[in-house]
Structure 1
Amino acid sequence: MTPSRPFAVRLSGPTGWRLASFLVAGLLCLPVCALALVATGGGGDLWPHLVSAVLPGVAFKTLALLAGVGVTVGVLGTGTAWLVTAYDFPGRRVLEWALLLPLAVPTYVVAYSYLDILHPVGDVQRIVRGLLGYGSPREFRLPDIRSLPGAVLLLGLVLYPYVYLTTRALFLTQAASLVEASRTLGLSRGQVFGRVAVPLARPAIAVGMSLALMETLNDIGASQFLGVQTLTVSVYSTWVNRNDLAGAAQLSLAMLAVVMLLVWAERHARRRQRFAAAAQKPRAMQPVRLVGASAAGAALACALPVLLGFAAPAAYLLSEAVKRVRFAGVSPRILAEVGNTVAVSLAATLAIVGCGLLFGYVGRSYPGRRSALAARLASLGYAVPGTILAIGLLVPVGAFDRLAARMVEQATGVSPGLVLLGSGAALVLAYTVRFAAIAVGGIEAGLGRVSPSLDGAARVLGHGSAAAFRRIHLPLTRTAIASAGLLVFVDCMKELPATLLLRPLNFETLATHLYGEAARGTYEEAAVAALVIVGVGMLPVAVLARLGSARAAPKPTVP
């Protein structure tokens, strides 16, 4: 036996796999560490100007935007989830899955669409003026969508499905006995919603709202299009326009502090609240059939978010795309951008799913606090906006590129240029850090449904943990793995901030193409790209709708 064999064997067991998981987690946490290093290297020359002239207004607008979007998604998501769960009315079956459709439309696509739909000289405002008897935009125009209230409304219409998904899943599992007990105590159906259902669903509402607020904080395209100067937009402007990387890093740390404050405030607010389900499987709540005006009102309340958040922008994009294709055909540039988008998104998806499988295997085969800690560290990137990740990645990626270029030039006499930044690998790495949490969480949830008795049976048959994972766990969780991969792929296609800052020169994706055309005001040029993004974004919505329809729906009852 050679001296190295015991070491090799030791690394192939729990120690080796846990070490590998911590190495990958450390790599995924590297941008945040590098961000702090960059921030300390900057001077304080920029801060007097920022504190006196920039930060007060920017911080107020950011907090106001977060508060407005939080209230909007909470009301829309919770209200629609309760209506389609507790009541039966015409169109409910369609609206159950249609309420997910706004997830297919990125925030910057909705903002771009409504800027043209509600233009002062557009068809909508012209029709409104005609109905009211006005002849020109000078006499009457609708409130400008390029405003803070406009941003709150549009972002809320796109992001409320995060709350709808989590809250409706909890409403479906709430015991009917709780509702019946509340009714016997004299509460109306509406009072049951406010005093029983919502308090019990508060953890699910908080999860959905936190996801929506993090997406709001990550947004850069919609905020710029709608004229709202948020912290994210300020970070981008400080880096690109002022060429001050250290100042951008310092602003990014301030944004991280905002994210941490949001998470802490949510957990602190419900620190003393504990809810538990009964040990037996509860009887599902039965929807009450509505008739007349009540049924029409419930259907309208659920249909409006779908119409405004999905149908209107999608119809606009389809109309503009058809006009563009009829006039000039499909641009070869669009086809190239589709190829670029699919290539980087697919590469990132494979890397992210690989990370999810690694953490899933370690957590399943070698459970413990250390395995769970590595998975949590790897998931931190989802709470970090793409702009911050891009800045944090610049330092390690730039250092690697310089080192690689120097070594290759010394060995061959030819400089390879920027290896990671120039090839798009840095973009793939940014996507991996940003969306690893989706694969880790999805695969862990899928593995959690596999009975532990199967692991014991595999050991009895002489299979180790790796063989059991390959031959038992992977086949049984392939649906969860495929769903996580699909969600990651679509999120990578829609990601704008990191793509804007880390893409190679002359490398455009559908998202950056749309951003550039909308920034120039040439909306018709971007319609095809936006329509492709929306079309691909509908894939995970279809999967989620199918999973939701697979649940056994209780039969409605007449009150």
Structure 2
Amino acid sequence: MILGLTRSWSLAGYVITAILLLPLLALIVQATLPDEAVFSHLFNTVLPTYIFNSLILMLLVGLGSLIIALPAAWFIARCEFPGRRYFQWLLLLPLAMPAYIVAYVYTDMLDYAGPVQRALRAWFEWQTPHDYYFPAIRSIGGAAIVLSLVLFPYIYLLARTAFMEQSSNLLHASKVMGCGPWRSFWRLALPMARPALAVGVALVAMETAADFATVSYFAVPTLTTAVYDTWLGYGSLTAAAKLSAIMLLVVFCMVGVERFARRKQQLFQKQARLDESDRYHLTAVKAWTAWGYCIGLLTLSFLLPFAILCGYAVDYFAESWDIRFWQYSLNSLYIAAIVSAVCVVLAVVLMFLRRVSPRSSDHLASRLSSTGYALPGTVLAIGVLVPLTYIDFAINDVMDWMGAQGPGLLFTGSIFTLIFAFCVRFVAIAIGSLENSYKRISPSLDMASITLGQSPMQLLRRVHLPLLRKGMFAGALLVFIESMKELPAALLLRPIGFENLATYVFQFVSDEKLEHGALAAIVIVMVGLIPLIYLNRSLEQSH
């Protein structure tokens, strides 16, 4: 720790934290204001349904993702079978596929007029819907299945890592005691992986709570769609803020319950590198069962939707390849580039402050800056719009008082609002990436720099930044991709006439014309594959 750290660094950290917390504080203040009876009407009519649907959907997606991710994680981590080396990174690909695109593809396939039901009617000579029963894809169950197929890699990745990091000595001991693969998994590996599984389920539940496009397309009323409809339909920002506060309460309660459940759980195990001799070598039927499960899961969650997208893109290439596609692609690229650069700079300042400052308040500032990632996009949009609208009006009032013409909607009428919202939400990703990189830098380097008379700025520039380049690149890359994919905040905060690839594709999905936006959707997916490949390479190097 550097005791001679100048106050300017601490002040910079406090200012950054205050700016990043401004949307959350503004949202809480706005939620305490009275409204024009809109919230009371919602509370007495549809709000219980919104809350019930949100909780049920989170439960179904969490359980569904856990059920389909666990076998895949165990096969990859502890078993040897044909294709295991490739499946360990291929099963991460669904994260690159936006859920609402998968929702459209499966709805188009499984709806009454889709090819599956048409084939069933032709084969069995059914004439009307009364002749047979087929589950409704546009339902809360259908939304849960689609979201589970897209979000299960969160649990798969954490569970796979947990299984791989479990001591091989414990596995050998279980074999000596007569435990086969199933008993070893159920009695030893699964309980030890519980912390990772709890974190994974919590992440999936929060992503489910934040989803807007999928539930909107399936016409499932949740708190996320309620915020959107209340703001744009009823025109009540205060009522939307109250609903957003309820969503925040649900999210924070989930995080609290997950941590409370693990408060007394401690695992102590001697780490031992896992090699091929420690894995169960599957043969014959068992090997093909593991292969079939992995390829089936990969096909349903990524290969099939992506292949259909490619087919759409080829068939409608002439309609898609136009000036709008290029303009919206450039909009997405430069917004994402600005956001990733700003987030990395902010993360460097906050993490450097946490690294070298002896004050606990400086450490708290950097941790509070990450809370924006817990805000769903619709909630974040409310929190961002409230203070920036107030600032816009204040600037115009001052200009009018001075006898000059005001600038109008300086912030809320430009892309600044969108960039600010993305930075608030995604700076946590850059902070997390740099935090992992800082753990690999020995404190002795800091002490040596102090001994040589280096200032904090010189320490950062000459020692830390060269060693943080890999973490900074990873953080910038992840923020870039998340900014390309973010939809709810972009829908609500984009200036009039401004579109990016995410909003462009969603408009086609809403109009049941994804075929015309398939090329843009493929760009989003392909860009999303970059950090997944990078992540897998990093994991392979660490194991």
- TM-score scaled by structure 2? 0.95
The sequence identity of aligned pairs, in percent, is 39
The superposition leaves residues 109-157 of structure 1 with CA deviations (integer Å, 9 ceiling, x where unpaired) of 2212222232322333333444444467674574221111111111011
Q: Does 1:426 align with 2:409?
A: no
Question: Is residue 214–residue 259 contact of structure 1 (8 Å, CA) maintained in 2?
Answer: yes
* Residue equivalent to 1:108: 100
Measure, in 1, the Cα distance between the counterparts of 2:400 and 2:3. Answer: 35
Q: Does 1:87 align with 2:79?
A: yes
* Residue equivalent to 1:401: 392
Name which of 160, 170, 173 aligns with 2:162. 170
Gap runs ≥5 in structure 1: 1-9, 553-559
* Residue equivalent to 1:547: 538
SS in 2 for 1:41: coil
Q: Does 1:181 align with 2:173?
A: yes
Cα 1:283–1:349 change in 2 (3 A) is closer
Q: Does 1:447 align with 2:438?
A: yes
Measure, in 1, the Cα distance between the counterparts of 2:359 and 2:215. Answer: 42
Deviation at 1:256, TM superposition (A): 0.8
* Residue equivalent to 1:479: 470
Measure, in 2, the Cα distance between the counterparts of 1:412 and 1:343. Answer: 37
* Residue equivalent to 2:66: 74
Give the aligned residue type for 1:474: L
* Residue equivalent to 2:408: 417
* Residue equivalent to 1:7: none
Cα 1:312–1:24 change in 2 (3 A) is same
SS in 2 for 1:16: helix
Measure, in 2, the Cα distance between the counterparts of 1:346 and 1:409. Answer: 36
Question: Is residue 408–residue 414 contact of structure 1 (8 Å, CA) maintained in 2?
Answer: yes
Alignment of 1:278-317 (within 5 A): 278=270, 281-284=271-274, 286-317=278-309
Measure, in 1, the Cα distance between the counterparts of 2:416 and 2:269. Answer: 46
Q: Does 1:383 align with 2:374?
A: yes
Name which of 478, 486, 497 aligns with 2:488. 497
Q: Does 1:64 align with 2:56?
A: yes
Cα 1:487–1:333 change in 2 (3 A) is same
- Tell me the number of residue pairs that the alignment of Structure 1 and Structure 2 aligns: 540
Alignment of 1:519-538 (within 5 A): 519-538=510-529
Cα 1:411–1:531 change in 2 (3 A) is farther
Name which of 144, 150, 154 aligns with 2:146. 154
Deviation at 1:17, TM superposition (A): 1.3
Measure, in 1, the Cα distance between the counterparts of 2:130 and 2:408. Answer: 55
Give the aligned residue type for 1:324: Y
Q: Which moved more, 1:205-214 or 1:118-127?
A: 118-127
Question: Is residue 125–residue 141 contact of structure 1 (8 Å, CA) maintained in 2?
Answer: no
Name which of 28, 33, 45 aligns with 1:41. 33
Question: Is residue 21–residue 358 contact of structure 1 (8 Å, CA) maintained in 2?
Answer: yes
SS in 2 for 1:179: helix
Cα 1:13–1:459 change in 2 (3 A) is closer
SS in 1 for 2:59: helix
The superposition leaves residues 229-266 of structure 1 with CA deviations (integer Å, 9 ceiling, x where unpaired) of 11110111011111111111111111111111111211
Give the aligned residue type for 2:78: A
Measure, in 2, the Cα distance between the counterparts of 1:141 and 1:507. Answer: 44
When the two chains are superposed, the root-mean-square deviation of aligned CA atoms in Å is 2.1
* Residue equivalent to 1:272: 264
Gap runs ≥5 in structure 2: none
Name which of 318, 322, 338 aligns with 2:314. 322
Cα 1:397–1:271 change in 2 (3 A) is same
Measure, in 2, the Cα distance between the counterparts of 1:237 and 1:271. Answer: 39
SS in 1 for 2:272: coil
Question: Is residue 320–residue 517 contact of structure 2 (8 Å, CA) maintained in 1?
Answer: no
SS in 2 for 1:228: coil
SS in 2 for 1:178: helix
Alignment of 1:117-136 (within 5 A): 117-134=109-126
Cα 1:458–1:421 change in 2 (3 A) is same
Deviation at 1:368, TM superposition (A): 4.7
The superposition leaves residues 248-302 of structure 1 with CA deviations (integer Å, 9 ceiling, x where unpaired) of 1111111111111111211222222111333xx4242621110111111111222
Name which of 15, 19, 23 aligns with 1:27. 19
SS in 1 for 2:265: coil
Q: Which moved more, 1:458-467 or 1:220-229?
A: 458-467
Cα 1:52–1:456 change in 2 (3 A) is same
Measure, in 1, the Cα distance between the counterparts of 2:336 and 2:182. Answer: 45
Cα 1:542–1:409 change in 2 (3 A) is farther
Question: Is residue 406–residue 415 contact of structure 1 (8 Å, CA) maintained in 2?
Answer: yes
Alignment of 1:215-294 (within 5 A): 215-278=207-270, 281-284=271-274, 286-294=278-286
Measure, in 2, the Cα distance between the counterparts of 1:222 and 1:540. Answer: 23
Question: Is residue 28–residue 433 contact of structure 1 (8 Å, CA) maintained in 2?
Answer: yes
The superposition leaves residues 523-557 of structure 1 with CA deviations (integer Å, 9 ceiling, x where unpaired) of 222212211111111111111122223345xxxxx
- TM-score scaled by structure 1? 0.92
Cα 1:221–1:249 change in 2 (3 A) is same
